[in-house]
Amino acid sequence: MGLSIGIVGLPNVGKSSTFNALTRSASAQSANYPFCTIDPNKALVNVPDARLEALAKIVKPEKIQYSSVEFIDIAGLIKGASAGEGLGNQFLAHIRECAVILHVVRCFEDSNVVHVNSAINPLADIETIELELILADVQSLQKRLERLEKLAKSQKDAQVQLQLARALLAHLEEMQPVSTFAHKDHPYFETLNHELRFLSAKKVIYAANVDEEHVRVLNDYALQVQALAKERGARFVSLCAKLEEEMVDMSAQEAQEFLESLGVAQSGLEQIIQLGFQELGLISYFTAGVKEVRAWTIAKGSSAPVAAGVIHKDFEKGFIRAETIAYGDFIAYGGEQGAKEKGALRIEGKDYIVQDGDVMHFRFNV
């Protein structure tokens, strides 16, 4: 889908360990000093979905293909990043390419892992990162204002745009993020945001990185992050990146047993992947055949022809109809034949909006 999630945070908070575990690899170097991640690491991560396994038990395919999400491990930012401190603006540029931010926050004590600010303070750490994003947005908007001021002398549209841009700049200069700007419904705002890709406008998932003993019951640090996320209407998840990285070499069954021994039903990483998928505004529909059971990724609200086009553009161009079974019906009636017999197979046309979990088969003209 060309959408990605950027992992950000101060140095030494567990970003690269989280990335390693997310990708079930050791491709992102973890080291006890700032800026060990020099280039952003990118990886496609399968989205856990128990529905695929349930479909496979009925269809018995040769393979299963999951939906995926791209994660980007971005080097640790520090105070002054917007002015070039640390590794500075190049990493802010990497964040601009992401649709969602996963903000990893250190919520553990460990004298062997230095903290860039010498003390554990999750809310202060969050503020440091978010202020840098706001300051970077101020710089971007100021450059656009210079251009708009020239255009406004001769173009009426530019005068309206200039007025909005000035109001937004005043908002940012009060150290308030674009996401809380009161005039986001202004016709020009969407264009401005699309062109400048404001960092502080992006959706955020806050991830509290805790130690092993606080995986099940959150410590005070993590509770502070959770409360902040709730206040802002953002997503929150807790995890122990160190433990999750250690689980990389375990089989799925071993990992599940290990989680159960900790009193946890689902790993923090699985929650992150699923939340990220949702925050990107994505859903999955399924195709189910003997060759493969597969999840296809589409934007929520996509029509049947658009969904067909994800498989092959010719399917969208020559779309005739979509034979559709709701996931629940497919399972309840034991597959396609059972669903047909119960009248649960529907014929949908070009205007049909695909629902998450639909099991579909497309008819089209070549």
CB atoms inside a 10 Å sphere around CB 111:
6
Q: Return the higher-pLDDT residue of 250 and 200.
A: 200
Percent of all residues in the chain with a pLDDT value above 90, rounded to a whole number = 54
Average pLDDT for residues 11-40, to the nearest whole number? 62
Q: What does the CA dihedral 125, 127, 133, 139 come to, rounded to 10 degrees?
A: -130
Look at residue 80 and tell me whether its pLDDT is greater than 70.
no
Instruction: Please calculate the CA angle 319-320-326 and round it to the nearest 5 degrees.
Output: 95
pLDDT tens-digit map of 258-289: 888 888 878 888 889 899 999 999 999 999 99
Cα distances (angstroms) measured from residue 181 to each of 132, 170, 256: 17, 10, 43
Burial class of residue 41, CB neighbours in 10 A (0-12, 13-18, 19+): buried
In this predicted structure, what is the pLDDT of residue 244? Answer: 86
Look at residue 347 and tell me whether its pLDDT is greater than 60.
yes
φ/ψ (deg, to 5) at 77: -90, 155
pLDDT tens-digit map of 181-239: 999 999 899 989 999 999 999 999 999 999 988 888 899 999 999 999 999 999 999 99
In this predicted structure, what is the pLDDT of residue 41? Answer: 78
Two tokens, residue 270: 């699985």
Contacts of 317 (CB under 8 A, 6+ apart): 309, 364
Q: Grade residue 81 by pLDDT with cuts at 50, 70 and 90.
A: very low
Q: Return the higher-pLDDT residue of 123 and 75.
A: 123
Look at residue 38 and tell me whether its pLDDT is greater than 50.
no
Paired residues of 24 in beta bridges: none
Two tokens, residue 250: 């375990």
Look at residue 135 and tell me whether its pLDDT is greater than 70.
yes
pTM attached to this predicted model: 0.83
Pairing of strands 235-239, 359-364: unpaired
pLDDT tens-digit map of 306-330: 999 999 999 999 999 999 999 999 9
